[in-house]
Amino acid sequence: MLLKSLTTTLSAIGLGLTVVPAFLVFGGSLSWKTHAVLMAVGTVLWFASAPFVMKSASETTASRNPGDDR
């Protein structure tokens, strides 16, 4: 359970780091170089943690709907 919450948190942070800096650059409150670094870190974090979150989510859905083969 701890690992699931950790990967979910890391995934959310990674997703936030890929979305929020773009808006901050557009608003003029973040430099392009800092934006690029944050986006790179967020992308790596997202791609490293999201498969585990999605895998656990699909397993949870499958266990709730046994026999549902849609």
Does residue 63 have a pLDDT over 70? no
Number of C-beta neighbours around residue 65 at 10 A: 10
Report the C-alpha gap between 27 and 21 in whole angstroms.
Answer: 10
CB distance 43 to 4 below 8 Å: no
pTM: 0.72
Q: Which residue has the higher pLDDT, 44 or 69?
A: 44
* pLDDT on residue 53: 87
Share of the chain above pLDDT 90, in %: 63
**Residue 26 pLDDT grade (very low, low, confident, very high; cuts 50, 70, 90):** very high
- What is the rounded CA–CA span in Å between residue 65 and residue 13? 30
* For the chain, domain boundaries: 13-48
